[in-house]
Structure 1
Amino acid sequence: MNNPHPHMPSSPYQLGSMSTIVQTGTGELSTLLEKAEEKLLLESLTTSAGAMLIQDEGIYLCLFQKNQLYLPWQPGKTLCPNSQHLHSLRLFTPEQEFYIWAQRTGSGNVFHYRWRTEMDIKPNKARLTDYVDARQLLWGKVEYYDPKTGRVEMYAGRGIRFSLPAQLIKSQVKRGSPIWLHTRNYIAYNELGQAGYVDCRFIQFAAEVTNGG
């Protein structure tokens, strides 16, 4: 049977199992950003990672490189995570994610982190974890794309406009294309064997999803 929605995957959810390592803790925001660069970029020899920064004034989809957040179409300008206004920050590659979030307290913010990786797993340190891969359709379609700067602008003809770097998107960007966010959602079981989601990480964005994935 043909897919009645050609831009929609025939199965937006996929089940699987994967060996994964998880590390959690707390720390100063600047220290956690340095740790994120070490884990995501330096140890894996990756040049940059994707980022979603949520602060009081807005949400930014951007890139993370050399311990800085930036938009490629704004050369020389960086986005600065603010310890007073930050809600959360996801730094991700297809194989791993470093997630930072703020806990509000009466004496200031406490910053927590969770690093999850599926790279270079050593059997004695990893745990086999069930997961569900999911794809969420972003608002709008590609209305504007500048291949020189990498700026992709999404719009649905009404409501909000937002931009994201083409470097975050797996497949070729074309005007009119929908954009999907691919997430991996991890499952744990309680003592009764009941399953529930315990974690979620970003994997990548894709300009279109073909049938079967």
Structure 2
Amino acid sequence: MFSVFRASAFAVAMSSTMVVASSEVSQSQTDFEQFQDDRPSTTAVELGNREADLTFSAIAGTYEKTVVITDAYIEKVEASTDYAALATLREEQGDAAYDAAIEELSAKEKKEYNEYLESSNVILAKSVGLLGEAAKLNAGLKDLDPKELAANPFKISAAVQGVATAADQITFTVDALQVLKKYNDIYSSALSYAGR
């Protein structure tokens, strides 16, 4: 299962040198590498049960949109690690530290930083609407009983696996969207901050 720790790790330090010390990981990996490895498949589960298949398709579609937004944000952060760190500085260390860091920027750097905030906010704003949709899908998935989904008793194990796959997809989706929403809020706050 996808962990919230790993979700926050991708957003806080995309290329962090922190090492995951886990028996699950055979070699040293950064939190981000582990995050990438933990992503479930984007394939929608099909059981032949119309209602379940529609739910699974909606979950896979929302998950795929989340992956696209997440990857776009990761690419943005990797291209601008200094500005990404600056954007979160106010949240982590307060207005005084943020103001001091902004004062050290040249006029060109301030302009680039503003452009970074605005373009990141455009990417991240897409996560806000998806979060509500993902929460509803997550609630709907919890109501599905795999035994009731399989018309054929021999397909119960496939139904159990299908629900597990959809659960992995929606868990990743909700966790990632919550982290992205947090950064959307931070960037929105930085854009509207009067001291900037």
Please, what TM-score do these two structures have when normalized by structure 1?
A: 0.26
More helix by share: 2
What TM-score comes out, normalization by structure 2 length? 0.27
By relative contact order (CA 8 Å, sep 6+), the higher-ranking structure is 2
